Structure formats: C-alpha cells, structure tokens
Amino acid sequence: MSSLIAPHSFYISTSQESQDIDARTIQEFGIESFTLMEVAGYSAFRDLIQRLQPKSHGLFFCGKGNNAGDALVVARYLLQHGFDITAVFISGTDDLSEDTRKNFQLLKRIKEANSSIGSLTIISSWNEFDLHTEADFVIDGMLGTGLDSEVRGDYNKAITWSNKEELPVYAMDIPTGLHGDTGKVMGNAISADLTYSFGTLKQGLYLNDGPGKAGEVIYCELPFPNHLKDICSAYLLDDQYVLAEPDRSPRHKYEAGVLYVVAGSEGLTGAAMLAAQSAWAEGIGAVILVCPHGNLPIYEKALPQIIKKPIGERDDYFFKEEHTEEVIATISEKKGKVLIGPGLGRNDSTIGFVQQLLETNEGDMLLDADGLWCLAQLKEWNKPKASTWILTPHPGELSNLLGRSIEDDHDRLESVKTLSTEKNVNILSKGYPVILGTPEAKAYLTSYDTRKFSRAGFGDVLAGKIGAFWSRDNSAAKSSALALLKGKHILENLLKADSSRIVEPKDFI
C-alpha cells in the first residue's frame, strides 16, 4: 500500500467500484440503500441551504434511478424550509427505482401534512414542462454514474435547456451526461456550478471534460466501512500531506538532505539554475550542481550558494559518454538523491552518457526533461533493483516512454498506473490533472487547475522541489505530493493578492 494513503484520504472510484462498495455495505453490514440515499440527500441539503436565498424556487430535474432519489431527499428538506419546489420527471413517474419511489411518496406526504410550507409542483414528463418557467436554481438528478451511451431524447432537451439558462445548477453525484470513469461528455452534459459526490469521489469528475462540467466538487460522506473503499485505486491529492512536511533540524548540512543536480548544457543553463535554486529554497543541507566544466563560469556568478562540481575539460559544454565514471564518482561522495535532466540537451553523446549512468548507478534518481528523453531512446529499460526512480514526464514525454500516443486523460491515468507498476517506478505525469502513479498501482490526482504551470521553466522548479523533499528521507510518492501541494498553495496566495497576475517560475522558488 502506498505511503500516502491515510484513513481520511479522499477515495476516487470508478463507477463499478462505487457500485461494489454500495452493494457490499448493504449486503454485509445491513445498512439499507434507503438509508444511504437519505444520508446522501441530507448531506447535500445541509451544504446547499447555506448557498441559496431563503424560500427561493428550485427546479428538480429527475430521472428514474437513484440519482433522482438523492435529489428528492434534497427537495423534501428544502420544502420544509419554505422553498418552492418544482419536480420535473423527465421520462415520467412510472418504473421509478424502489428507493426513489419511496422518496417521491414521502415528498408528497410532507406537503399534504403541512400546507404552510413551500409549494410543491409535480411535472410528470418533459413535454408538460413550461420552457418559460421562472426559477432560482436547478437540481440535476437525472442520470448518474451508470451512463454508458449518449444522452438522447428528452434528457438531451432538458440538458440543453438547463445549459442555456443562467441559473445555478447543482448536480447529484455527477452531472448528467458525464461518463463516470472517463469524464467524457456523452453527447451532451449538464454544466454544473457545483457537484455533490456521495461516498467516494467519482473518477470522471477529474478527467477530460469532467472539471469543466462538474464545477466545484463537494464530497459528502456516506456510512461506508472504510476498508471497503480499499478497492479504489485512485485518490485525491489532499492538503493533509502539506501538514506532514518535516522541518529542517539544526544539524550538519550533509545530514539535512543532499541533492545532486546533474543538469545543463550550452544554451540551456537556465533550466539547471531553476532546478538548483528551487531545491535550495526548501532549506535542505546542500544542493550540488554537477555540470559540464565549460558552463561553470555562468553558475559561479549566478549561484553563489550552490556547490558546483564541474565535469570534464574547460571546453566541454555538454555531457559526454566519457564523463560517466567521473559523474558516478562525484554523486557517490555524499549520500544523497540525484536529479538528472533539466537542460541536459539531446546531443548523441549526451544520450549515451545518460543511458550509461542510469544502467550503472544504483542510487535513487529523479528523471526530468531531457533525462526522460534520453531514457525513452532505449528500446528496453529497467531501473536497477536497489534504486528508486521518480519520472516526471509531460504528455509528450509520457508518450515517448510508452512508445505510443495518448488518447485522453483516462488513457493517461490507466497508462501511468500500468507503467509505474510494470517498471516499479513512481511517475508524476504532468497535465490537467497531474497524475501521480506509484509502484503499488495506486494513483493520486490533483483537483486544482494545473494549467497555470504550463509555461517553460515550471517543470524545472517542480523537479527541484521534489528532489529537495526526497533528500530529507521522505518517500518518493510523498515528496512528489509535497512539491505539488506547495506549488498549489503558493499559486493560491499569489492569485489572492492579484487575481490577474501571470505567474512565473521564479515566483515559486
């Protein structure tokens, strides 16, 4: 099991995993499905009522399945708090699921028992719905995670109407029309302002079209026994891991973390500097820049606090195969982690150097940028058994490692899980979302907008941060998580001060 998993981690489930957890909770622990629906709906209601204007009018778009039942629970509680409710059953009220039928009856009984609460209007088909109906918000309870074909007919019409209206939309579990696993729009999909995800977070909310359709995602706890959730293979990268960031102890510098940065070539020295500066800013004991000798004057002037270890002759401006032994001797002087790749270049001799280094060095290594490109030139590659590797590819670099193109984010997620397991490596796949795969076939997804980090140089800064955290005896996965979340927090603070600010790599050093 990955070292990142904690009892309060947010589990991300596929549709099948969610169904299995639900079924086992009912069958093995006797918690009835009706109870689960009640808890789900009430959880959504408790948050929703804080967002709505008192006694406003809500349109509840309902299908026939349990997604509609969740919505009807919300409707019942809002009705009792003076809200006006219009429940629109897109394809009629016949053949409702058992629990949804019960909640439909409960909703009507509540109104019959107390006429002084909000108004209740039932629309039994989409054709009966007045397209000019005025309302204050929409609740999407039409179709859930089981959708596996394109939305058609009246459901498609309801989605189109909702998306054209300028009303806040709140989705139950997942926006109607969004695939629960891939996050792709199935022909048409609700554009929600907020989605309440019940029991587990649904994978489709974070992939492909998911983030744009789901809006803000609110997790609602259900009484699922935690051990049943262990079938999930994905997790939300949660801020809890930042709290676990260790402080630097007042000890000898070489005991406070050592990172070797093997980087740089003529014309690409900036990448090496960003990586080294980023690592140094985290307060580790020493950052040692291992560089071609010809580039040393640039670093001596720009990086006074960084230890420099020049390799080769004064006229060497890129790494060569004959430098391998000297580099191995250098990175073996002190115990530490090795970051290789930023600004290395793609000279044929450099490719040979990187490949030899990877094959012969049994220490822990973080491969980024050109280091990954050199690795991908090998037809077959495997890390030494005694070492731990972290790979940080962007989508193009991941495609090179896989030897094929990547179709979409769902393909990227599955590919990262497979490759990290087969090669026994940790893979931080850059993109939106970032996907962190571990050798245990677990994956962690970011929920924040990582597109802000797409400019040149951000990858070098991230690599330096990961290397710094890793050098302080964190696990590879935890180091990657800490680096990602630190970047997230810095970004939030910068945008809080100036929402229009265009961030630069140096802002994160």
**Using CA atoms, how far apart are residues 226 and 230, in angstroms rounded to an integer?**
7
95, two tokens: 């053949």
| Structure letter (DSSP) for residue 315 | T
DSSP 218-254: EEE-----GGGGGG--EEE--THHHHTPPPPPSS-GG
Any residues with CB less than 8 A from the CB of 161 and at least 6 apart, and which?
Answer: 131
DSSP 328-339: HHHHTSS--EEE
**Using CA atoms, how far apart are residues 21 and 19, in angstroms rounded to an integer?**
6
Q: If you search the block for the tokens 């710094």, which residue do you land on?
A: 468
Burial 204-214 (b: 16+ CB within 10 A, else e): bbbbbbbbebb
DSSP 17-48: HHHHHHHHHHHHH---HHHHHHHHHHHHHHHH
Enumerate the known binding-site residues.
67, 140, 144-150, 155, 173, 176, 271, 343, 394, 459-460
* Degrees, nearest 5: CA angle 412-371-318: 155
In the chain, the amino acid numbered 314 is R
Burial 218-251 (b: 16+ CB within 10 A, else e): bebebebeeebbebbbbbbbbeebeeeeeeeeee
Yes or no: say if 249 and 459 are a contact pair by the CB < 8 Å rule.
no
DSSP 332-380: TSS--EEEE-TT----HHHHHHHHHHHHH--S-EEE-THHHHHHHTSSS
Yes or no: say if 387 and 406 are a contact pair by the CB < 8 Å rule.
no
Strands lying side by side in the sheet with 10-13: 201-202, 10-13, 234-236, 443-445, 435-437, 426-429, 389-391, 365-367, 337-340, 258-262, 286-292, 307-311
- Would you give the distance in Å from CA 397 to the centre of its chain? 19
Enumerate the known binding-site residues for (6S)-NADPHX.
144-150, 155, 173, 271, 343, 394, 460
Any residues with CB less than 8 A from the CB of 407 and at least 6 apart, and which?
Answer: none
Enumerate the known binding-site residues for AMP.
459
For the chain, the distance separating the N- and C-terminal CA atoms, rounded to the nearest angstrom, is 32
Any residues with CB less than 8 A from the CB of 44 and at least 6 apart, and which?
Answer: 70, 73, 74, 170, 172, 196, 198, 218, 220
Q: What is the DSSP pairing of strand 194-198 with strand 216-220?
A: parallel
Enumerate the known binding-site residues for K(+).
67, 140, 176
